[in-house]
Structure 1
Amino acid sequence: MSDKEILEAADSGNTGVQTAELGREMRTSFLEYSMSVIVSRALPDVRDGLKPVHRRILYAMYDSGITPNKPHSKSARTVGDVIGKYHPHGDSAVYDAMVRLAQDFNMRVPLVDGHGNFGSIDGDSAAAMRYTEARLAKPAMELLADLGKETVDWVPNYDESLQEPSVLPARFPNLLVNGSNGIAVGMATNIPPHNLGEAIDATCLMLDNPDVTTEELMEVMPGPDFPTGGVIRGREGIISAYETGRGSLTIQSSYKIKEGKNGKTSIIITEIPYQVNRSNLMQKIGELVRDKKLPEISNVHDGADRNSPVDIIIELKQNAIPQVVLNKLFKHTQLQVGWGVIMIALVDGVPRTLSLREILHYYILHQEDVIRRRTQFDLEKAEARAHIVEGLLIALDHIDEVIAIIRGSRTDKEASDKLSERFGLSEAQCTAILQMQLRRLTGLEREKLQEELAELKEKIAYYKRILADEHLMRQVIKEELQEIKGRFNTPRRTRIAGPAKDIDVEDLIADEEMVVTMTNAGYIKRLPVTTYRQQKRGGKGMQGVNLKENDFVEHLFIASTHNYMLFFSSAGKVYRKKVFEIPEAGRHARGTAVVNLLKLDKGESIVAAIATKEFPEDEFLMFGTKEGMVKKTAMSLYDRTRQDGLIAINLREGDELIAVKRVKPGEKVAMVSSAGKAISWDESEVRAMGRDTMGVRGMTVPDGVHVLGLEIASPGKEIFVITERGYGKRTPVEEYPLHHRGGQGVFTITMTAKKGQLAAMKVVTSEDALMIISEEGVVMRTSVSDISQLGRATQGVKVMNVDGKDRVSAVAIAPDGKRKKRPKDSGDMEVSEADLED
């Protein structure tokens, strides 16, 4: 036939071919497929919390008599029954589902009692079903209880040869207790498991008060309770999940920190997050150690045994900080995971996202229906039995006449009709009388029948009250739930702690003292302050930095890794970083070019830095410039940051910023010039100004002379000065007369050509330690107490041997380790906020 003839035949309906629009057919077919997956495979029923495959496994075992009081049966037999009778799918899928029902690390209350290898938390798969055995667990019998009392609807199996329950009676809220997860078409469900006792208490609370709030429910059921324990951080995700059906949980492992010998510490992981593979977790930790991302860890090994099936022992190197290592582990491994809650279940065959109250509401409706149908069944059975007993008692009351009627009848039918006509008995009563044995004619049997009838009448009255009184029905549900709780409840395993903060880089850095060095050529680095050893006065020092030719170390500071770093440039701008953001390098390394760390303009260099954790309004920064200008500004104005820096002080043309110090009301400021003069004045001489200002005159200097430094001179302290050739001394600040700002000052050291120009100054105490560095990078560490205390106008003594053309370039105050209290004026990098703490 031609195409035209085929189309004409199709239009006339004379062929067996049906025409359909392709798009509509695709939509219809896919919708049918997706609904089949949703209803028949992937999503649990809100009433019993089971998917069809799990329900069929439990029912097949129940129907075959593989119950807790019977021996275990081969798993292959159960799988065969399920496939052959109810679930025509692959045997591995059915077996995997049955295995999960038996795993105590997946199920909060296992429903199958497995015998043999049913897998492990390490991800080991179960043995083949021909090797393992299983039977129903005792809690599963509560899901199947009263199944034979017409409590649920029955439907035909796939070939209509058998009947199977459409839902189980579920005497406890299994959807909450064991949770569920599955991926359907276009949707997924992920319901966390809960504690059995808590779920029952929440159900009872809602039975008492249908309008109970989520917050009230959380008083008895505070959150999920995972079979593997762990810690849920924060309640926000739980509240969101319970109120909207969706939420995000943060689950952390539980751990213990064990102190060992020689300062070594071990972290023992005792519980891991739900559904995390322990073997993969250990492998990931090992990879991080090998890749040097966790250099604090010396060894990781398996400490699991029968009593502690999870233990992972992480041994740390000497002096490693456990909390820092834990923060790294939480960030880079599954010791901390996010767990998305999506509470989708089938309600009347339709998928719905449910809140906690809705889940409990539909479960209670199911239980009311189960109790109603069970009570109706028991009532009808009791009434039928009472009816028979009444007939038997009538027969016993007229036993001689009954015997005569039976003996005078030719057939059972004739005897039944005569008994019915004579005593008004029903057919069922007559049949029971005819079947009555002679031993029932004794007086004892009559008493038993009378007692049985009385009991039956009490039951009938009770059943009728239940059916007529909704409150009594709810009370029955509560009592039976509490009875189940009493038999199967276990203590909560998962703890709920405070909210988990986002782990940033700072949480992964140990809080320790660092030496920060910057060279004249613009190289910066940090390294632990413990790198340098302390020496006596007059020592040669040790090589601290390998420098390029003609480069020298110009600035040396000390600060904690977690401090904010305010870098002040010669151009009067400020940049903010954390100390740990400065690249760490070895003692001999040159460091990183500061232009790669800070966005400095051409010709701009860093001249001062402040280390601080806070920016208080009642503390100020005092700025000093090369030409003697000063300015005081509140620290709070610098609690900002920009990549290209902020204006810290306005400068005159040709002037440069040389120093920035923290200052408090009542403190004294000391300024020293390269000509060897010093001036001291009260900080109140300078009023507080804004950030974008120039300041006022602090010290007058002649042409060719510049201000060398600005320091805070507190009572009881000393001013230490050192010349380019290493001559220095310390003089009490009380020897310097107090002036008004703006003067030229008085001599602080007798200047000679041999000693060179004044190179550096610091305000110190006798308990301080000094780090002195030369232009060629030689570093010396010495105690202030080893340096002579001399008068103001004296020459000083040799503090550091400086070879050849080398010159002293910078001085910083270093932690001594003997001091217990820090001075209140500390806070800049040369005396950091943390460097004097034990």
Structure 2
Amino acid sequence: MATEQPKIQELTLEDVMGDRFGRYSKYIIQERALPDIRDGLKPVQRRILYAMNQDGNTFDKAFRKSAKSVGNVMGNFHPHGDSSIYEAMVRLSQDWKLREPLIEMHGNNGSMDGDPAAAMRYTEARLSKIAGEMLQDIDKKTVDMVLNFDDTEYEPTVLPARFPNLLVNGATGISAGYATEIPPHNLSEVIDAILFLMNHPKATLEDLMDFVKGPDFPTGGIIQGLAGIKQAYETGRGRIVVRSRTKIVPLKGNKSQIEVSEIPYEVNKAQLVKKIDEIRILKKIEGIAEVRDESDRQGLSVVIELKRDVNAEGILTYLLKNTDLQITYNFNMVAIYHQRPEHVGLKTILTAYLEHQRDVVTRRTQFNLQKAMDRQHIVQGLIKAMSILDQVIKTIRGSKDKKDAKQNLVSQFDFSEIQAEAIVTMQLYRLTNTDVTQLEKESAELAKAIATYQLILAEPKELDKVLRRELKAVQKAYPTSRLTEIQNEIQELKVKTEVVIPQEDVIVMISHDGYIKRTSLRSYSASEPDDNGLKDEDYPIYLAKNSTLDHLMMFTNMGHLIYRPIYEIADAKWKDTGEHISQTIGLAENERITWVYSFENLKATGKFLVATSDGYIKQTAFADYTPGRTYKTRASQFIKMKSDDATVVTVEYLPAAPTGTLILITQHGYGLRYDLSEVPTIGAKAVGVKSMDLRDDAIVRATIAADDDLIAMITQRGSFKKMKVADLPVTSRARRGVQVLRELKNNPHRVADYVLVASDANGVALDVLTDRGKHHSILNDDHPTSARYSNGSFVVDTDTEGEPVSMQIHPIPLTV
């Protein structure tokens, strides 16, 4: 006895998984998630329509419980969960999802707010009138039928679809490796395109787009981006912007409101209203007083009420950019074409539909022809029987039974089996003369119909005439105007800062050690000015009242520029220290913010004068210092340093062409004066040109001075001196200059700093800072003007206070 071979196969897991997943993928692609290009339906949708039609649940009959239809579909055609069938059924009834709903439903079938439909036991449904067009002539063998899951009934592989449902109602679905997103379109436009394509098979996409302008969403709205539509119709992929239809309505008392009457397709209205209200509550923008959903049976209406005197256009732009009042819609037109999923364009969809309709009309005509020919055969037999009626009756009466009668008729009078069956089953009343006339009339009509059918089948042009007539009839029966407006270009949304940031006056302080903060006027007014939260040795280098919409430019002594919009500076109480600049931007160990300028906007047209201690100088246009994208985390370079130990000694903003001359003074007491026109305007990262012949010296400061200004300088030995600017002769750039201090052999004076004082200024106080952190005040009026070679008079006791390192005009107390 032969041993049986083992039935166990050894296969790798990869092969088994690959094979099984491949089968599963093919199933869900073809049988679940993607629509057929011909009728635009997924299998569950097709089965719902077919089952309801088979059950007589049509638009001209009464509504029936949805649960009955779902049960029929599940029991006969779709052995999956009832919830998935009912969800598909509900979607087919939602007029905000489908351009032409295929099911009418009584009861709660959901809402634009994302509310679920009532349970199927509460709702009632029937096919809509236009769904009848999808199923028309299905009983005339117009489509292939296959056995259902348990081989008990037949179901269609596709519906006749007498209108182009794939484009009209669109489709959405996710499958294994494929997803589809086809938007709804206007029925009349799509039929016009098909009619044109019938006459012009080589029509271009541009020709077809003369008819199909773009999607036509049931929720209306405005589409922007004609290029995106064209790309989608060409390749199956494309991107458009869909925005709500809005209008700004003025109200009493300088108020206004934004009224939204249409929202983008498939946007959840309740979530949209909630998002806008969150923006109001969180004060992401100022100016929204209230958000109301006033939608009712008359239509959608969302009202955004605004406060008095606000920029309504700016707020609308912000909402379009930051909420679903405007969305990006991505076409991904995938459909089952010749049994496989494909990206399809507009012409492919229309051509495939046209092929399907020609096939449907051909099959229907063949069915009608066969039926007419069968009937004509019977009618001819009846007419023949009437002509020999007595013989026929005698033969039938002489027969044993029906079967024998039929056989006798066939054998004696040459009738066919079918004709004989018709004769023996004929009722007696039809033996009248009038019935013969009717039969002859029917025979003539059948002959005419047969000729017509044969012509349609023989001549493609005749077939197209029939198809054109029927498409036009559908177009006329369901007139629908376009709901969605199409605009060529996508409008760029630029939100103005003043919309997002409330305009408010604040106090801004930047300290010598790098602490920065903004404080409300209320907090500043309620505190002592000196109680500023800084350490004892720290002090403000910038203290001013600014708007939250202003812009700060902070320059360090090592050539770095830090930019901040004032609204981005941390808000703190006046008594708090604020945040250190190093929390966001790293500075070198000895780097300090030294010059700070504020601007109302970033469109200033002036220039910056920049000078370094190692003898370089330049002018740079304001536009070259405007911030880049990374301003929050890194400083930009405003001058390139030639040597490692050099520092920036001057950054001065010149709003217009300044009057006066440029003065530079060195540590060793040399002064040079020349015209500013000798300093070129160059780029942000340039080194600049030579400002002064330094040799082993260093520049203390460079300033623009009027002829009658006074130079007030302090030396490292604590000596204070005033001299006239006019005492410095006007020469040219890069020279050594003239001495402004008398050189001493032992312990010579070195200029620590200087400032310019107007000759007519009274009561000016000068604040000297020493290397020990001590502040010494000098009254300018107490000291006479000295000659150029004078070393001034001692005012600071360096033994007790330390050596002077800088000097500034004492700031006037800030009043708010």
1:62 is displaced (CA, Å) by 0.9
The correspondence for 2:152, drawn from 136, 155, 161, is: 161
Larger mean Cα displacement after TM superposition, 407-416 or 373-382:
407-416
Q: Which amino acid aligns with 2:348?
A: E
Q: Distance in 2 between matches of 1:634 and 1:14?
A: 91
1:296 is displaced (CA, Å) by 4.5
Q: Which amino acid aligns with 2:46?
A: R
Q: Does residue 185 of the first structure (1) align with residue 185 of the second (2)? A: no
- Which residue number corresponds to residue 65 of structure 2? 74
Distance 1:405 1:721, change over 3 A: farther
Distance 1:116 1:106, change over 3 A: same
Contact 1:419 1:425 in 2 (8 A): no
Q: Does residue 469 of the first structure (1) align with residue 459 of the second (2)? A: yes
Higher radius of gyration, 1 or 2: 2
Superposed CA offset, 1:670-712 (max 9, x none): 66899xxx99997644444455233465999xx999768549x
Three-state SS of the structure 2 residue aligned to 1:55 is helix
1:73 is displaced (CA, Å) by 1.3
Q: Which amino acid aligns with 1:604?
A: R
Three-state SS of the structure 1 residue aligned to 2:246 is strand
Q: Does residue 571 of the first structure (1) align with residue 558 of the second (2)? A: yes
Q: Does residue 63 of the first structure (1) align with residue 57 of the second (2)? A: no
Q: Does residue 756 of the first structure (1) align with residue 765 of the second (2)? A: yes
Give the superposed CA RMSD.
5.2
What's the TM-score, normalizing by structure 1?
0.71
Superposed CA offset, 1:13-55 (max 9, x none): 377x554536344444333333333333222222111122211
- Which residue number corresponds to residue 554 of structure 1? 541
The correspondence for 2:476, drawn from 479, 486, 495, is: 486
Q: Does residue 518 of the first structure (1) align with residue 478 of the second (2)? A: no
After superposition, where does 1:348-427 map in structure 2 within 5 Å? 348-386=338-376, 402-406=388-392, 408-411=394-397, 413=406, 416-417=409-410, 420=413
- Which residue number corresponds to residue 343 of structure 1? 333
Q: Distance in 2 between matches of 1:542 and 1:436?
A: 122
Superposed CA offset, 1:198-234 (max 9, x none): 3323333433333434444334323333322334443
Distance 1:654 1:294, change over 3 A: closer
Larger mean Cα displacement after TM superposition, 638-647 or 183-192:
638-647
Distance 1:808 1:208, change over 3 A: farther
The correspondence for 1:594, drawn from 548, 566, 581, is: 581
- Which residue number corresponds to residue 131 of structure 2? 140
1:170 is displaced (CA, Å) by 0.5
Distance 1:631 1:90, change over 3 A: closer
Three-state SS of the structure 2 residue aligned to 1:102 is coil
Q: Distance in 1 between matches of 2:557 and 2:235?
A: 57
Q: Distance in 2 between matches of 1:362 and 1:753?
A: 93
Q: Distance in 1 between matches of 2:244 and 2:163?
A: 29
- Which residue number corresponds to residue 694 of structure 1? 688
Q: Distance in 2 between matches of 1:561 and 1:222?
A: 46
Q: Distance in 1 between matches of 2:765 and 2:448?
A: 116
After superposition, where does 1:44-443 map in structure 2 within 5 Å? 44-293=35-284, 296-309=287-300, 311-326=301-316, 328-330=318-320, 332-386=322-376, 402-406=388-392, 408-411=394-397, 413=406, 416-417=409-410, 420=413, 428=419, 431=422, 441-442=433-434
Q: Which amino acid aligns with 2:346?
A: L
The correspondence for 2:637, drawn from 639, 646, 649, is: 646
Distance 1:266 1:560, change over 3 A: same
- Which residue number corresponds to residue 781 of structure 1? none
Three-state SS of the structure 1 residue aligned to 2:80 is coil
Q: Distance in 2 between matches of 1:51 and 1:294?
A: 45
Contact 1:73 1:134 in 2 (8 A): yes
Three-state SS of the structure 2 residue aligned to 1:204 is helix
Distance 1:586 1:563, change over 3 A: same
Q: Distance in 1 between matches of 2:711 and 2:121?
A: 88
Three-state SS of the structure 2 residue aligned to 1:607 is strand
- Which residue number corresponds to residue 809 of structure 1? 811
- Which residue number corresponds to residue 801 of structure 1? none
1:758 is displaced (CA, Å) by 11
1:583 is displaced (CA, Å) by 4.4
Distance 1:340 1:628, change over 3 A: same
1:612 is displaced (CA, Å) by 9.0
Contact 1:629 1:699 in 2 (8 A): no
Contact 1:562 1:578 in 2 (8 A): yes
Superposed CA offset, 1:219-268 (max 9, x none): 43233333223344434543443333334444443333333344444333
Q: Distance in 1 between matches of 2:382 and 2:731?
A: 124
- Which residue number corresponds to residue 26 of structure 2? 35
Contact 2:625 2:638 in 1 (8 A): no
Q: Distance in 1 between matches of 2:597 and 2:468?
A: 69
1:121 is displaced (CA, Å) by 1.7
Distance 1:504 1:376, change over 3 A: same
Contact 2:767 2:808 in 1 (8 A): no
Superposed CA offset, 1:322-351 (max 9, x none): 455445545554444444433332233333
Q: Which amino acid aligns with 2:111?
A: S
Three-state SS of the structure 2 residue aligned to 1:118 is coil
Q: Distance in 2 between matches of 1:806 and 1:635?
A: 25
Q: Which amino acid aligns with 1:694?
A: G
1:126 is displaced (CA, Å) by 1.8
Distance 1:670 1:26, change over 3 A: same
Q: Distance in 1 between matches of 2:249 and 2:512?
A: 47
